[in-house]
Amino acid sequence: MITWATPPAPVGASRWEFPPPHEWPDDEDVVAAGADLEPSTLIAAYRCGLFPMDLEGPPRVRAWWSPTPRGILPLDRLRITPSLRQSAKRFEIRIDTCFRDVIRACGDPARKGRWITDEYIEAFSRLHEMGWAHSVEVFGADGQLAGGLYGVRINGFFAGESMFHHQRDASKVALVALVDLMRVSGMPLLDVQWCTEHLASLGAIDIDRDEYLTRLAQALA
| pLDDT computed for residue 58 by the predictor | 76
Residue 100 has pLDDT above 80, yes or no: yes
Q: What is the mean pLDDT of residues 98-126?
A: 90
Give the containing element (helix H, strand E) for 126: helix 118-129
> Each residue of 72-94: pLDDT tens digit?
999 999 999 999 999 999 999 99
Q: What is the mean pLDDT of residues 13-28?
A: 95
CATH architecture entry for 70-220: 3-Layer(aba) Sandwich (3.40)
| pLDDT interval class at 2 (50, 70, 90) | low
pTM recorded for the entire structure: 0.95
Nearest to 170 by CA among 131, 142, 189: 142
Q: What is the mean pLDDT of residues 193-214?
A: 96
* Rg, the chain, Cα only: 17
What is the C-alpha to C-alpha distance for residues 68 and 83, in angstroms, rounded to an integer? 33
Contact status, residue 134 vs residue 99, Cβ threshold 8 Å = yes
| pLDDT computed for residue 182 by the predictor | 96
| pLDDT computed for residue 56 by the predictor | 81
Task: Provide the residue ranges of all domains of the chain, joining segments of one domain with +.
Answer: 21-65, 70-220
Phi-psi region of 3 (alpha: psi -120 to 50; beta: other; left: phi over 0): beta
- Between β-strands 133-139 and 92-95, what pairing exists: parallel, antiparallel or unpaired? antiparallel
> Each residue of 113-136: pLDDT tens digit?
678 999 999 999 999 999 999 999
| pLDDT interval class at 53 (50, 70, 90) | very high
| pLDDT interval class at 110 (50, 70, 90) | confident
Residue 68 has pLDDT above 70, yes or no: yes
